[in-house]
Amino acid sequence: MTTFNDLLGTSPNTPAATVKQRYKLLSARVHPDKGGSPALMHLVRHAYENVAKGKGQNLLTIPASASVREGGTFESELNKLRKEKEELSALNQLLKGQLAQAKKGTTSREGPIKNTELLRKISLLEGEIVLLKDERSRLMPQKDAAIAEQQKLAAELRRVLSENEVLETELDRTSGVKSPGLMPWASKFWLPAVIVSLSFAVVIFGAKQVNWPAFTLWFDDVPSEPKAPTVRVIYANDETNDQQEAVIEPVDAQQKALSNEPLPFLQLTNKPGVWSLSSFTVSEEPYIAIRSDRGSYVVSDCSGGFNLYLNKPYKPLRVPANLIYLHQNQHFHVYDIPYGQGSSSESWMQSRKLQINDEYFTSNEFKTSAMALLEKCGKGS
């Protein structure tokens, strides 16, 4: 008889990974979408489940999901036949016992007694026995047909399994063919040498292109002093007097203020994506800020405005219209945000994330930091 291991082509010592591989191969072949049938697919799955449970040596049984015809299943039909057979056998035994008791009762009496009722019961029992035999004769062909269908499915599975083994053998043979010519030699020697040479060239060229002064500013904790604004002196000739007078060009009011008062420096952080309360290193005035992944900051102080501290290495050629350049501070280009995204507390409260100059800043912990800033500014005033 056929076992579950015979269907899958496995043995009791086959590893679980190999059993699963055989199941996948057979499923791909007998799947209804690949030209197979639902009955074969259910039978393969039933065999795989029994082998996985360690019941591979058990004789093959038809799963409950394998259909015999359009109105039933193999297992349900067989169970129905078995149940009917048991009921008929029990009824047959009961009738035989009643018949024997009836005959014994007639022989024990003295002399022949004509009992029409007993004779009628005997004839009925004999008729029921005939009907039971007819029913048994009718059910036997169905049982034989079910067994034949089971053997047919098993034979088709073995055929599919043999075809898969042939395909696997051909695939292994074709994959092991080596390409002739210089390609194997080139792949072993020349290609690695070319790849290594290109890697060295890229490293050397990239090292020359790196702006090392700007790179070292990331690791410099001490802020550099701002440069004093330059004043250009122009000497004008007086037609009536040969003495030269020094004429100083007017300097921008904002640059004068920067030359008189030191710029407030940010306290840098390594934690991006979270608003936090801090204070400037020079004036110790409170502010809240958030750092992006590129090292830029969005800062808001007691004035209520928002400024963008753009990291110098990431300064673009063109900036959006809502960014107004103010000055340079530390290694940042400082821009005012008078309108647009990020220019008010409402925009930060209503959004999870804002894009400012191609950089993303989240609103994580903004509400808490803003309330803390208002409290600090209120105490300071």
Q: Where are the domains of the chain?
A: 4-170, 276-380
pTM of the model: 0.34
Residue 72 is encoded by which pair of tokens? 């039933």
- Give, for 270, the enclosing helix (H) or strand (E): none
- What pLDDT is attached to residue 260? 54
Pairing of β 297-301 and β 245-248: unpaired
Answer whether residue 33 shows pLDDT above 60. Answer: yes
- Average pLDDT in the 310-323 region? 86
Q: How confident is the model at residue 275 (pLDDT cuts 50, 70, 90)?
A: very high
DSSP assignment string, 29-43: HH-GGGT--HHHHHH
Selected residue with higher pLDDT from 371 and 255: 371
Lowest mean pLDDT among 64-73, 79-88, 126-135, 366-375: 64-73
Percent of the chain at pLDDT > 70 equals 70
Retrieve residue 285's tokens.
Answer: 């005035």
Whether 88 and 136 have beta carbons less than 8 Å apart is answered as yes
318: helix, strand or coil: coil
pLDDT at residue 253, as a whole number: 44
Residue-level pLDDT at 238: 45
Q: How confident is the model at residue 309 (pLDDT cuts 50, 70, 90)?
A: very high
pLDDT of residue 257 exceeding 50: no
Which pLDDT value is given to residue 380?
A: 58
Of the listed ranges 47-56, 293-302, 367-376, the least confidently predicted one is 47-56
Query: pLDDT tens across 163-209, in order?
Result: 777 777 777 666 554 444 555 555 566 667 788 888 878 777 766 66
Q: How confident is the model at residue 289 (pLDDT cuts 50, 70, 90)?
A: very high
% of the chain residues with pLDDT over 90: 15
Q: Which of 339, 223, 324 is nearest to 282 (CA)?
A: 223
User: What is the predicted pLDDT for the residue at 286?
Assistant: 92
